[in-house]
Amino acid sequence: MTKTTIRADTPIARFMRGGFIIRDARMGRVVCVANQKGGVGKTTTASNLAAGLAKAGQRTLLVDLDPQCNATTGFGGTPAETHPLVSEAALAENVVTTAVTNLSLLPGSRSVRDVERIAEEARDGSMVLANHLACGLHAWDYCLIDCPPSIGELTRTALAGSTEVLMPIQCEYFALEGLTQMIEVIRDVMAARPGRLSFSGIVLTMHDASLELTAEVEREVRDFFGEIVFDTVIPRDVTVSEAPSHALSVLDYAPRSHGARAYTELCMEVRDCE
Ligand SMILES: Nc1ncnc2c1ncn2[C@@H]1O[C@H](COP(=O)(O)OP(=O)(O)O)[C@@H](O)[C@H]1O
Ligand SMILES: [Mg+2]
């Protein structure tokens, strides 16, 4: 059984379920795909959701903030020399188109020096980076931000520049371990800018309906987080993991696969959360 350090009746759980959001009607939705763990499906979810929303006619931008740049290369993009957050140029100048109609990409950068610079600026309490990010994202119906696997300054800046958080949770042992810290960070950002950031939901990834472990994790996550868990679960499906090596989303690589269908359904649920 999974080990969890947080229980459904804690103040954190109540805070996650509550909350309200005041959003400027002219502003698109900026969805921060975050979880401090690696390998839980953040990049996969950000990329396929972005592709699905674009295919549904939404002007969509995929923002790659992870220095691993998997979202960038997964659409055949080239990582930038300078990290988009510290580039002198406006974000829009670094945006590139993709093969998917309506989908653009803000490539990430592998520059370690830039990541250190971002951490320094953000530690000083500066909102410059978050504002730079938020201003650059105004022109889109949806921006999906792929975060690194940490709760460092890149993720904090992404949260501060977003209107909502979407957290993938992998159906595996220790699925909830460490989430308390992540939730604390989200709460800090919410408190710093009341009414801007909301919690759009939790998505269960790499779901295998034949495994008892998956059923246990799903039960635990749904008990703990309640209605903020999306009904759609993303199945473990090899086509999902193959698609980026062809520089495609799973929706184009294997449109009839279980993975493609699940991401299409998740898109509809995300759109319905508006
Ligand atoms: N639904 C899925 N089915 C099969 N493999 C998956 C699925 N989702 C993600 N993967 C694979 O799991 C690994 C981690 O996913 P990734 O999205 O890169 O996680 P993160 O961005 O959280 O580190 C990748 O190799 C990816 O291809
Ligand atoms: Mg990733």
**Ligand 1 atom 15: the closest Cα is on which residue?**
41
Task: Indicate if ligand 1 lies below 6 Å from the C-beta of 70.
Answer: yes
Please tell me the distance from the alpha carbon of residue 137 to that of residue 201, in angstroms, as a whole number.
Answer: 21
Mean pLDDT score, 167-172? 95
**Ligand 1 atom 23: the closest Cα is on which residue?**
39
The mean-pLDDT minimum among 48-62, 76-90, 203-217, 224-238 falls in: 76-90
CB distance 127 to 86 below 8 Å = no
Q: What CATH number should be reported for the domain whose range is 30-272?
A: 3.40.50.300
Please tell me the distance from the alpha carbon of residue 112 to that of residue 2, in angstroms, as a whole number.
Answer: 35
Statement: residue 9 has pLDDT above 80: no
Report pLDDT for 139: 82
Task: Indicate if ligand 1 lies below 6 Å from the C-beta of 259.
Answer: yes
Reported confidence tier of residue 6, pLDDT bands at 50, 70, 90? very low
Mean pLDDT score, 227-233? 95
Task: Indicate if ligand 1 lies below 6 Å from the C-beta of 39.
Answer: yes
Q: How far, in Å, is the centroid of ligand 1 from the Cα of 240? A: 8
Q: Phi and psi at residue 198, in whole multiples of 5°?
A: -125, 170
Longest Cα–Cα distance of the chain, Å, equals 51
Task: Indicate if ligand 1 lies below 6 Å from the C-beta of 19.
Answer: no
Mean pLDDT score, 181-187? 91
Please tell me the distance from the alpha carbon of residue 97 to that of residue 201, in angstroms, as a whole number.
Answer: 28
